Amino acid sequence: MYNTDTAINEKKGFIFNIQKYNVYDGPGIRTLVFFKGCPLRCEWCSNPEGMESKYKVMFKENSCLNCGACAAVCPVGIHSMLGGTHIINRDIDCVGCRRCEEACTEKAIAITGEYKTASELLEIIEEDRMFYETSGGGVTLGGGEVLMQADFATELLKVCKQRGINTAIETCGYANKESILKIAEYTDLFLFDLKHIDSNRHHKLTGVYNELIHENLIELLSRGHDVKIRMPMLKGINSSQAEIEGIIKFLMPFRDYKNFKGIDLLPYHKLGVNKYNQLGKDYPIEGDPSLSNEELDQIESWIKKYDFPVKVIKH
């Protein structure tokens, strides 16, 4: 039993979002908790505010009145006024005091990153217990990368399991084996990303090679943990027949395992573009790598040919 007395000495997790009533990331209706920090730098990331394990200032320039209220309260000088114009210095680390967010009457500033205990998160997760029970849902931890905060995430999932709440994590799989096996004890389903089969290409696209990811996936599947594969789909990046069949060949030894739960295709979408602007970053992808419905159907049929359960997830 988790009670408030234990909360005093509790560890805290660094999170950047909580999303309720999600129906895409695991079975049933789910609450998603997004963990901050990720070891990968995927060009197409739709949550760039979750990449770094630091507070981040998101700023809507169009909403700003250049009133200077934020500059007056920022203790580290991130906000300043220059010739009547509000300037943000992104070379200075934000300390997360949120004074600027509170001072801005126009809601032009949002600070991402918040420390929460497992008890605090559990309370939020528990609010929707009725939905989990009627839909077969639960909680999914995503990010960023959950396993960057493996101890805290494991603790959180452990208390969820103790309360009978279904658990899932969405992971890039780039973590040490020990931490992934530890969290697996309390994880009902892994939503495990495979982004590119070729390790050099994987490195170019994400900043890391894929051998460790593959080793962890094999370990989870071999030990009987439930795993669903997720493949982000981007035209001209990882969607050719050879690239898809490369992944299928890699997964073939596990196709008939009971704990292999199939493949989700996640079509690229541009939802992250505004966030890059608000973070003062250039959007890393040139052109539009979206796939048409026909192209997605084609990819689905290449996978089905090998008798793999596959679904295109359309948000």
Question: Which chain residues interact with ligand SF4 by CB under 6 A?
Answer: 57, 64-70, 73-76, 78, 86, 94-100, 103-104, 106, 108-109, 111
CB of 148 to ligand SF4, least distance (A): 21
**Spatial distance between the Cα atoms of 114 and 61, rounded to a whole number of angstroms:** 23
The residues, any chain, with a CB within 8 Å of residue 3's CB and separated by 6 or more, are: none
Torsion of Cα atoms, 258 then 260 then 263 then 264, to 10°: 100
| Residue 77 preceded by cis peptide, ω within 30 | no
The residues, any chain, with a CB within 8 Å of residue 205's CB and separated by 6 or more, are: 42, 43, 195, 196, 237, 238
**Spatial distance between the Cα atoms of 16 and 131, rounded to a whole number of angstroms:** 23
**Spatial distance between the Cα atoms of 149 and 39, rounded to a whole number of angstroms:** 11
CB of 101 to ligand SF4, least distance (A): 6
Per the structure block, which two tokens stand in for 287?
A: 């052109």
CB of 287 to ligand SF4, least distance (A): 32
Nearer to ligand SF4, 109 or 296 (CB): 109
CB of 113 to ligand SF4, least distance (A): 9
Nearer to ligand SF4, 99 or 195 (CB): 99
Nearer to ligand SF4, 70 or 265 (CB): 70
Nearer to ligand SF4, 65 or 273 (CB): 65
Burial class (CB in 10 A: 0-12, 13-18, 19+), 295: middle
Q: In what order do the strands lie in the sheet with 30-35?
A: 114-117, 12-22, 30-35, 138-143, 166-171, 189-193, 227-233, 260-267, 310-312
Nearer to ligand SF4, 84 or 287 (CB): 84
CB of 75 to ligand SF4, least distance (A): 6
Nearer to ligand SF4, 70 or 169 (CB): 70
CB of 60 to ligand SF4, least distance (A): 8
